[in-house]
Structure formats: structure tokens, C-alpha cells
Amino acid sequence: MKSEFAFIEQIKKRAATRRAADLRLGIGDDAAILRQREGRETLVTVDLLVEDVDFKLDYAIPHWLGHKALAVSLSDIAAMGGSPKFSLLTLAIPKQSPISNLQSENFWEAFFEGYFALASEHGIVLVGGDISSTLGGLALDSMVIGHCAAGKAVRRSGARVGDGVYVTGALGASASGLRLLLDGARVNEAEASPAQSAIRAHLRSAPRVEFGRLAGESGLAHSMIDVSDGLAQDLLHICEESQVAAILDFDAVPIAEAVKLVTADADAAFSLAVGGGEDFELLLTADRGNEQALFDLASRCELPFARIGTITARDGAHPVRVSHGGDAKPLSIRGFDHFDV
């Protein structure tokens, strides 16, 4: 039986193949050591993924799960307008499941292949983590550390009245993919179908790392967040932190093609797109005068980009409303709550 130390040794070896400018010491001591620089700020985020709550091993593909574990945290650094640089990963590994056998390494080989492939794509170095067994399901806690020039981080609190509201990509693909998986569809990596791309959007989202970094460096975005809880909820976060309101344009919200696979109704499609979550697109607000520059930036990143609404003053009405044929109605769709009953 391979020991915990041997398992860690193997991850350490894989992580050590990468060097990074500000890395002084990676995995293998009591803490990692990272160089600081004057005029720069550290960004740090953590995301927890729990089996049967945030993913199911039933339909997860190990190398996609490794990818997703890193992707969710990269997305947070992108949403701050920063550059992700380092990661840490904590694993609670079930003793009582086929994947807990660390000697039969197929699962973990594939998992780390997915994790390190995405890390490599964005120049991320794994610098630490921890491992424990668990009597429950697999849990992955993913931390990413990045940086930005001092004062350049894009917060949720920076939206201003009159700002345009923008979003990268299209919404609802992840929620549609999840619906298909729950209905019994499964991954087929060889098949290029709308259903498979919806499933891929859910299980293997692509974080908008480059767009986020450029939006931050350029200073074009006043506020930004990644669409993880769902557009409705995430726009509400921006409105609350910025003390503003927003009006979404029903017809302008870009709905992913995949949504058609689960509903033909326009209202239901809209609900899925704004309520679904886990699209990991970037939602931002910016001065309308900078709109063209933002469209150019998105095009440089080969991302669809759309203006979907306007930031307005708070007026006692629901902070997020949606205009559809002249009417502006409260957008009451709630995001995902882990303890909802």
C-alpha cells in the first residue's frame, strides 16, 4: 500500500517541474515561500467542492474534475482583474470507495493530469496543500494566489450609476449540462454534439483568466464578479456591494445554445440562463464610453461579449429588475444555497 508520504512525494515531483519568477519554495516544508514586490497586491481565494453536493463521481470524469477543481478558483482571481500564479490543494479522500485506493492510481493520475494541464496553460505552480482520509465523500479545497498592481483589483463594490452591465460568453450552458447529466446523459469525449458541449460546460468550464487580467490591467471595469451563483444572484452581489440597482434587458442576455436542449420556452430559457450558475463567465460594469475598448478586449480573447443592462440608482424597488417589452419587473430568481431546504 502506497503511503500518504509517497502519494504526496509524487504530487510534489509533478509540481516541481514548473518554476515561477516569485516562487522561493514550493511543496515540502511547513509553508510555501513567495516573494513580495512593492506596488503589488496579493489576491487569495479558496473554493470547496464536495462529492454529491458540488459534483457526483457518478458522472465526473477524473481529469475534468481535476481541471474544475483549479478552474473555479482561477475564475475568482480573474474576477478581481488579477493574474493567478500559485495554487494549493487539499484533498479529503474517502477510505470506503474504489477511488480511495491510492495504490491503484488511475483516478489520481487522471485527476492530476487535468489539474496540471490547466495549471500549465496559465503558468500556475502548485505550492502546497494537505491530505486526509475521510469517512464521507471526496472533498477538494482549492486555493489560488495571484496578484495585481496595487489599487488595480476590480471589486464588486465599484459599480457606478450609468455604467453598462456586460457579460462574457453565453449563459445557461452549465445548468443545461447539469440537467442532462441528472437526466442520465453521460460524457462522451469523442462526440461533438450540443449535448456534449453543455455537459462539458458544466464539468469542465474554462475560466476567463486572460479577459479578467486584461480588464483589470486596463482599468476599464468598474466592478466585476464571476458568474458562479447565477447571473441574477451575482448581479445582486454587485448591486449590494456598490449600493446601486440594475436593470437587465431581457432580450440582450446571451443565452447559450445548449439551453434549447432542455427547454423550448423563452421565459424558462431566460430563467435557466440567469438562475443556473456555474457558467464562470465574467460579469462586469463599466463606463459606456469604454464599451468599444471592452468589446475589442473580448475579441482579442476570442470571447463573445454583450451589454445586457444598465446600473441605476437605488430607489426602494428590488435592486435587480429585468425589462421586457417596456415593463421592468423584479428579478427574484435565487442562486444556489448549500443549506436550502
> 199 to 238, contacts with a second copy by CB under 8 A?
224-226
Dist. CA 69–CA 108, nearest whole Å: 13
Region binding a second copy by CB under 8 A among candidate stretches 83-91, 111-119, 269-277, 312-320: 83-91
Region binding a second copy by CB under 8 A among candidate stretches 89-97, 112-120, 252-260, 320-328: 89-97
Region binding a second copy by CB under 8 A among candidate stretches 122-130, 172-180, 243-251, 304-312: 122-130
Give the one residue of 143, 175, 259, 298 binding a second copy; rule: CB under 8 A: 143
Give the one residue of 79, 167, 178, 201 binding a second copy; rule: CB under 8 A: 79
102 touching a second copy, by CB under 8 A: yes
Region binding a second copy by CB under 8 A among candidate stretches 109-117, 118-126, 150-158, 163-171: 150-158
509517497: which residue's cell?
6
What phi and psi, each to the nearest 5 degrees, are found at residue 94? Answer: -60, 140
CA quadruple 98, 104, 118, 336: dihedral, nearest 10: 10
* CA neighbours closer than 13 Å in the CB half-sphere of residue 274: 25
- Judged by CB under 8 A, the chain residues 59 through 78 that form the site for a second copy are 76-77
Helix, strand or coil for residue 68?
helix
Helix, strand or coil for residue 145?
strand
Task: Name the residue nearer to a second copy (CB basis): 93 or 311.
Answer: 93
Least distance to a second copy, CB of residue 114, Å = 20
320 touching a second copy, by CB under 8 A: no
Give the one residue of 36, 289, 292, 325 binding a second copy; rule: CB under 8 A: 36
227 touches 167 (CB < 8 A): yes
Task: Name the residue nearer to a second copy (CB basis): 88 or 198.
Answer: 88
User: How does strand 139-149 pair with strand 221-226?
Assistant: unpaired
Least distance to a second copy, CB of residue 107, Å = 14
Whether the CA torsion 112, 282, 49, 238 is positive or negative: it is positive
Reading the block at residue 278, the C-alpha cell is 456555474
The H or E element that residue 149 is part of is strand 139-149
- Judged by CB under 8 A, the chain residues 37 through 56 that form the site for a second copy are 37-54
Give the one residue of 19, 289, 292, 339 binding a second copy; rule: CB under 8 A: 339
Task: Name the residue nearer to a second copy (CB basis): 79 or 203.
Answer: 79
309 forms beta bridges with: 165, 248
- Judged by CB under 8 A, the chain residues 255 through 274 that form the site for a second copy are none
17 touching a second copy, by CB under 8 A: no
Least distance to a second copy, CB of residue 140, Å = 10
Dist. CA 152–CA 167, nearest whole Å: 20
Reading the block at residue 5, the C-alpha cell is 508520504
146 touching a second copy, by CB under 8 A: yes
163 touches 310 (CB < 8 A): yes
